[in-house]
Amino acid sequence: MIQISFKGAVLFKNNSKLKIINLNIKDELKRGQVLVKLKYSGICGKQIDEIEGIGGKDKFLPHLLGHEGSGIVLKVGPGVKKAKPKDKVVLHWIKGSGIESSTPTYYSDNGLKINAGWITTFNEFAIVSENRITKIKSKYSLKKAALFGCCATTSLSLVLNKLNLNKNDKLLVVGIGGLGQVIIQGSNLFKTRSITAIDINKDALKKAKKFGAKFTYNFSNLKDKKILKDLRFNKIVVTTGNIKVINFCLKLLEHPGNFYILGVPKRNINLKTNAWNLMHDQIIQGSLGGGANPDKDINKFIELDKKRKINLNKIIIKTLNFSEINKGIHIFKNMNNSGRLLLKFK
């Protein structure tokens, strides 16, 4: 029997702050479940979407959030083979190998049931499904490892496994937060000569230049926007779910050309595109997780950072204590950042 009390940030109501409350585990681990002590968690746009309820009615309230983190395994349930106690692991929402367990249930001090998915990272301890963890080498930083739960793995997988870049491509990266910054760094591995970056954050655009973007444009600047209308790119990656931005950038795609959407638009919103262009070999594709295979990709991508072919330290702009989670969410929502924000657990 596991008996642990810990703190977790719970969503009780859409469009409200998360409440940090005491939670309890009083159960045995079920088949395929892994108990992890969290060390770091990222804040991703998907959590903002969940808080704001853009996917429709949330039937699981109250529940925990978070899908990008790192930690140390404390105990494993029956059937688990991927990890053992004391292993360092990345927690990721992308399915890997192993058992997909039943989802855990936690309880508040007053006995209220708190729901959770196969992975949550806005809590000091988490019961995670085996297929949502990947063991990493013990000497690698758990701080940087958290980024491989979503941001770094999604970006690098898209670049290395799907974009098929060469030095003559004209690449446009739209949205230079954590995803965009890693995409630009990854693209440099192919010596791509023409990388253009678009954002509304001046600091993000400065970082894009440092990471290897040849041209940068501020989407909130009318002069820059006018220049963009006359440009064309054969490969475009959009990391925002803003449908106006997506539709604008679709007009910049050459034919043939490839257009990838990594941002999450609201439901029931339609793209506007030219059917003639589509018939002439334009490809428009959404890409959940960049098509990553966590079991193969995460440790391979970690080696890129260890060999300094990419630099994840430079995309981490702030590390807050877990108790400051609502401050972090506020920073993320208001775009007062130019990279990735992490939460640190004691």
pLDDT over threshold 90, residue 278: no
Distance CA 257, CA 19 (A): 45
Q: What is the pLDDT of residue 235?
A: 98
Q: What is the pLDDT of residue 57?
A: 84
| b/e map 282-303, b = 16+ CB within 10 Å | bebeebebbbbbbeebbbebbe
Task: Tell me if 299 is assigned to some domain.
Answer: no
Pick from 122, 120, 118, 116: nearest CA to 131: 118
| Length reported for the chain | 346
- How would residue 287 be classed by pLDDT, with cut points 50, 70 and 90? confident
Residue 87 sits in the same domain as residue 205: no
Residue 17 sits in the same domain as residue 133: yes
Residue 220 sits in the same domain as residue 128: no
pLDDT tens readout for residues 178-201: 999 999 999 999 999 999 999 999
- Domain with residue 162: its CATH number is 3.40.50.720
What's the mean pLDDT when you consider all of the chain?
95
Residue 171 sits in the same domain as residue 228: yes
Task: Tell me if 269 is assigned to some domain.
Answer: yes
- Domain with residue 69: its CATH number is 3.90.180.10
Residue 277 sits in the same domain as residue 255: yes
Q: Does 271 or 302 have the greater pLDDT score?
A: 302
pLDDT tens readout for residues 227-253: 999 999 999 999 998 999 999 999 999
Q: What percent of the chain has pLDDT over 90?
A: 86
pTM of the model: 0.94
Q: 333: which 2 tokens?
A: 């929502």
Pick from 183, 184, 162, 156: nearest CA to 303: 156
Residues 6+ apart with CB under 8 A from 10: 18, 19, 20, 21, 23, 62, 63, 64, 114
pLDDT over threshold 90, residue 152: yes
Residue 11 sits in the same domain as residue 131: yes
Task: Tell me if 166 is assigned to some domain.
Answer: yes
Which residue range forms the structural domain that includes residue 178? 153-291
Q: What percent of the chain has pLDDT over 70?
A: 99
pLDDT tens readout for residues 197-220: 999 999 999 999 999 999 999 999
Number of domains, the chain: 2
Residue 140 sits in the same domain as residue 164: no
Q: What is the pLDDT of residue 3?
A: 87
Distance CA 232, CA 219 (A): 16
Residue 282 sits in the same domain as residue 157: yes
Angle at 329 between CA 286 and CA 68, to 5 degrees: 55
Mean pLDDT across 334-340 = 77
Give the C-alpha distances (Å, rounded to integers) separating 151 from 44, 239, 296, 309.
8, 11, 16, 17
pLDDT over threshold 70, residue 103: yes
Q: What is the pLDDT of residue 302?
A: 97
What's the CA dihedral at 238, 242, 245, 249 to 10 degrees? Answer: 30
Task: Tell me if 297 is assigned to some domain.
Answer: no
Q: What is the pLDDT of residue 269?
A: 85
Q: What is the pLDDT of residue 120?
A: 98
Q: What is the pLDDT of residue 35?
A: 98
Residue 175 sits in the same domain as residue 138: no
Question: Is 40 in contact with 146 (CB distance < 8 Å)?
Answer: yes
Question: Is 77 in contact with 32 (CB distance < 8 Å)?
Answer: yes
pLDDT tens readout for residues 5-58: 999 999 999 999 999 999 999 889 999 999 999 999 999 988 988 999 887 789
